[in-house]
Amino acid sequence: MSQQFKENMRMRYYGENALGLIETVGMVPALYASDMMLKAADVELISYENIGSTLVTVMVKGDVAAVSAAVEVGAKAAASIGTLTAQNVMARPIPGVGDIVSCHDIDVE
């Protein structure tokens, strides 16, 4: 898929793909985990949320296998430099979950 095409098809996440989540204490491990996830497998960064009380969550979407591989690598990376509080792979989230994720859409200014 070309970069330009990806740029044009920015759209809401409806839970059509698997969802991968990583939550860390502080944003440095979260950014490091994002970088490793994006490099490890064919996943797309969809959301980033500073929840408060130092918790930061990053979310990626893609095929279940790609998301599983990415989350595994990202969680290890985050734990190696900081505190990982949670990691999860949701294979087939219900559309309502997609709506919650879309509230923190990375492409929305």
- Cβ 56 to other proteins, closest distance in Å? 7
Instruction: Show contacts with other proteins in window 26-85 (CB under 8 A).
Output: 26-29, 31-32, 34-35, 38-39, 44-45, 48, 50-56, 58, 81-82
- Cβ 94 to other proteins, closest distance in Å? 26
Distance CA 17, CA 44 (A): 10
Interacting residues toward other proteins by CB under 8 A: 25-29, 31-32, 34-35, 38-39, 44-45, 48, 50-56, 58, 81-82, 106-107
